[in-house]
Chain A
């Protein structure tokens, strides 16, 4: 259970951090967001990642939690990265030269 909750927090964290990146803002929203919104995404992302760590520490203690946290964050970053790639591919205009 702790793994599921921690992974959800990690996914939310990296999704928010992706939304805080200029390049992803252009891909997802068509342009750069305001600095306040960007800062908000950044803070939300950081908070969610800290939340994932807190969940694991509460369940497993610091030693195991830090190891698990490394795995959770890597996996979550990979999933968010993969979703962005798939989204980028599907959202790209289908230009077919004749």
Chain B
């Protein structure tokens, strides 16, 4: 039988263990997590960022009729890619001003199936010559598979980081014993205590979201991380095809008959889908073997208002328009995965819900950032010689600067590159990405070479200037300056300009606070100003 004091001691032991676990799982991949969080956060507006990245594409003043657009694109494909075995188009909607399509091309190498892609004008169906860019898709892809490494490696790294995050969340909850009592507690100017309070507030306010987004992030790639069950249960090609149908509406083309037959009206097929799901709730049209007797047309439901990514689609016989099958539901396991996937992506929500996702995810980014900075703040106080910290401490300090402030500069540089790189540049989209990494590497070099506080101030200041001037650059290089966007009611372009200025102000405040503490440090480092002392000795905000 244990005594009360032994129980209390055991409780403290568990809390202490969890605290250490929280600290180290948070730190080891903290910079990866910060980058995943920030790029994931902006990805909630990836469609809007992609619109901004292609200013040549005209703004849609009203949503076009999906049925009419789909037929226009189908007609265009007779010229763009005659004889392709499959093409698929994402129809324009409230967040996308173009129809984006990809299609199969002749194999480039034996055993490989090539794809091509392009944007199409919804009004004419003609292919649009927009600048070569990944737009918001770069941040979205980077968020879960990074870059310059094989996709599976990147996804494994993201999965390991997400698992670390999940452990950090659970251990953090156990560590934080006064979640409700200290719910609103923030002690200003108390150094390490202030950082801890800020970290706790950012964590606790969005705790359901942070836990959900981390867990669902793991679920989105669970079949890759844990493939063994599927490998045992599903062996034949027919079973694999059945599984694929449970997870995605994208089907592989079958064999063509070789008999040429004109296609039926795709407009009518989409109309039938509109009657089923609503006029503005058709997402994609997929056509295989167009013009062949074996042609199939699949119309998929849009994401709006549906808390699931499980496929819902109608399959038609291409030459007659006859409905062959309609899938409205999947099995329980597939639906569970579909709901969790949808929760992660947040595409079901209206504009307000998307902003909620963005803001709480931004708080999650700040949660990771404050945790990283706190690691150095806490340990700096224990250094035997703060002027000459050990190598591990210096490494964390410098990686914090490049990982937090440097990432802001790199992401903004990507957007600058979008406006400044010549549209005729070969491999332009890759150059934008290269620019992102070149600037990020330069930020790391700068952080390694400069004194810590100066590096924080300079990088935060640089991010602020670049963000502030981005709308100016946009005004100078496109026909869509801020005032024009406001006058036209183009809130995609105006909103991105405003967000740039808001983030510029945030970086400026952080830079100024860091610089001010630096200047005041020799005077204010007093016993009655522990916060100033800690901040002055720590860096940015640190």
Contact = CB atoms under 8 A, between A and B. Distances in A.
Contacts of B208: 70, 73-74
A67 B353 contact: yes
B35 interface: no
A70 B186 contact: no
B188 A71 contact: no
A88 B348 CA distance: 39
B360 A71 contact: yes
A81 B205 contact: yes
A21 B181 contact: yes
Contacts of A68: 349, 353, 356
B205 A74 contact: yes
A23 B181 CA distance: 8
A77 B209 CA distance: 13
Contacts of A3: 352-353
B205 A21 contact: no
A63 interface: yes
Given A74-B208, A75-B359, A78-B363, A17 B183 contact: yes
Contact of A80 (B184, B356, B528): B184
A70 B181 contact: no
Interface string B185-209: 1101000000000000100111011
B357 interface: yes
B534 to A, nearest CB: 18
Nearest to A27: B184
B205 A71 contact: no
B184 A24 contact: yes
Nearest to B186: A85
Contacts of A78: 201, 205-206, 359, 363
Contacts of B359: 71, 74-75, 78
A85 B201 CA distance: 11
Contacts, number: 72
A67 B307 contact: yes
Interface in B344-398: 348-349, 352-353, 356-357, 359-360, 363
A85 B363 contact: no
A67 B349 contact: yes
Interface string B288-328: 00000000000000000101000000000000000000000
Interface string A7-37: 0000000000110011110000000000000
Contacts of A72: 356
A45 to B, nearest CB: 11
Interface in B262-312: 305, 307
A3 to B, nearest CB: 4
Given A64-B305, A70-B208, A78-B205, A85 B360 contact: no
Contacts of B363: 74, 78
A44 interface: no
A89 interface: yes
Interface in A44-95: 63-64, 67-68, 70-75, 77-78, 80-81, 84-85, 88-89
B185 A23 contact: yes
B222 interface: no
A72 B353 CA distance: 9
B244 to A, nearest CB: 26
Nearest to A7: B352
B360 A81 contact: no
Contact of A71 (B181, B305, B353, B528): B353
Contacts of A88: 186, 188
24 contacts: A3-B352, A17-B183, A18-B183, A22-B181, A23-B182, A23-B184, A64-B348, A67-B307, A68-B356, A71-B209, A71-B353, A71-B356, A71-B359, A71-B360, A74-B208, A75-B356, A75-B360, A77-B183, A77-B205, A78-B201, A78-B205, A78-B359, A81-B184, A81-B186
Closest 7 CB pairs of A and B: A71-B356, A77-B205, A3-B352, A63-B307, A74-B206, A70-B208, A74-B360
